[in-house]
Amino acid sequence: MKEKARNLRRNQTDAELALWQLLRAKRMKGLKFRRQHPIPPYIVDFICTERKLIIEEDGGQHANAVEYDQKRTTFLESKDYTVIRFWNNKILSNIEGVYEVLLKHLEKPIPSTQRGEG
């Protein structure tokens, strides 16, 4: 799974590259994001483990994978992650809007279940 994640990092789509430019080097509120991070049995596009936030970018193939994506999201949410999805075309045509959505989400308090509290 680690090798597959490495290959995905080496072969990013244009949308992934654009989104990574926003997230890398702690540019989003000083938070560290990772790309193509394994959470078995899945590899997520981007993750901030500190905030338990997963960002998925969806291309055209996801229009035919709604059930799979929902199963995947349900699994990740069962692990106390929040999953946000953006379509590739939105990332490429409105990166500022994507940035604003992410900032608003990161300004929300972390739910107590995600902080490890009871």
For residues 58-74, one letter each, b for 16 or more C-beta atoms within 10 angstroms of the residue's C-beta and e for the rest, the string is beeeeeeeeeeeeebbe
Query: 40 pairs with which residues across the strands?
Result: none
Q: HSE (CB half, 13 Å, CA atoms) of 14?
A: 7
Q: What percent of the chain has pLDDT over 70?
A: 81
Query: 58 pairs with which residues across the strands?
Result: 87
pLDDT digits (tens, 9 = 90+) for 4-52: 656 666 667 889 999 999 999 898 899 999 999 999 999 999 999 999 9
- Fold for domain 2-114? Endonuclease; Chain A (3.40.960)
pLDDT band at 109 (very low <50, low <70, confident <90, very high): confident
Q: Where are the domains of the chain?
A: 2-114
